[in-house]
Amino acid sequence: MSRTFLEIEGERGVVTRYRRHPNGKGYVAVGSEVDPSAYVDPTSYVEAGARVGAKAWIGSGSWIEHDAVLGAGVFIGANVHVGPSAVIGRSSKIGSHSRIGEKAAIADATLIDNDTTIAPGAVLRRDASAGTADYVRAA
């Protein structure tokens, strides 16, 4: 059985190789770690160095950039951009058409509405007493 790869040359001339994820057939870069139980839509990309946990869901047209981390059970809606080195906590839900900035951190079990932009370096922490997430802009 032969392996099929898609190769894309970036703007700086670096070629990235992608393979199809067995669950959903989305494009997963060589050098990323995507749990076999995660779903990656056929029109979505996961870049090198990214990690996607068990039973995560990546919706259509979404892009998970390099070194981003999606915890177990994370749901990513359609056309979401998760920036480089962003961390999305377990069981969080990111609404469609949202943008998560570089190095942003989102607490476990946080719900992000559709069309939301989270600034680079921002931190969303859980308020255990209120059961809500607070948005904190990194200095």
pLDDT exceeding 90 applies to what percent of the chain? 76
**What is the tens place of the pLDDT at every residue in 31-90?**
999 999 999 999 999 999 999 999 999 999 999 999 999 999 999 999 999 999 999 999
Buried b (16+ CB within 10 A) or exposed e, 38-61: bbbbebbbbbbbbbbbebbbbbbb
The pTM of this model reads 0.87
Cα–Cα distance list, 19 to 6, 14, 22, 23, 30 (Å): 6, 17, 9, 12, 7
Tokens of 37: 């139980």
> What's residue 14's pLDDT?
81
Tokens of 25: 């057939």
> What's residue 136's pLDDT?
47
Report whether pLDDT(2) > 90. no
- In the 8-state DSSP scheme, what is residue 25? -
> What's residue 18's pLDDT?
93
CATH of domain 6-123: 2.160.10.10
Nearest to 70 by CA among 93, 50, 52: 52
Torsion, Cα of 46, 50, 51, 52 (10° steps) = -20
Delimit the domains of the chain by residue range.
6-123
Q: How many CB atoms lie within 10 A of CB 131?
A: 8
Q: Reduce the DSSP state of residue 126 to 3 states and report it.
A: strand
